[in-house]
Amino acid sequence: MIVTDDQIREEILETIQRNRIMLFMKGTPDAPRCGFSARSVQCLDAAGAEFAAMDILPDPRIRQQLSAHSGWPTIPQLFINGELVGGCDIISELYESGELSKMVAPAA
């Protein structure tokens, strides 16, 4: 089956809309394929976040379309409520300051 760039972009946008906390990463939360993705998963877990994740590795166009949408050049990328929060450094900083736990707390 041929998947077009447009279909990939739509899938990305849809998954950001559908999941309040959405992490785009290399690998999966159970088997991260990059130290920065692994660190981001650890922070989210430690902050008690229930998050969805998408592996960007299977098709290089996922990353291209994602970065075109977000304007953010690297992976991982965390979105909360449809907004880009940042990559690994920002996730780590927000976790260490305690801010991440507040951001990922279930909406009242």
Q: Which residues bind to other proteins, rule: CB under 8 A?
A: 35-36, 71-74, 84-90, 93-94
Q: How far is the CB of 99 from other proteins (least distance, A)?
A: 9
User: How far apart are alpha carbons 36 and 97 in whole angstroms?
Assistant: 18
Strands (DSSP E) found in the chain: 21-25, 52-55, 77-80, 83-86
Nearer to other proteins, 12 or 84 (CB): 84
The C-alpha atoms of residue 78 and residue 19 are separated, in whole angstroms, by 11
CB of 2 to other proteins, least distance (A): 26
State the nearest-atom distance from the C-beta of 55 to other proteins, in Å.
Answer: 17
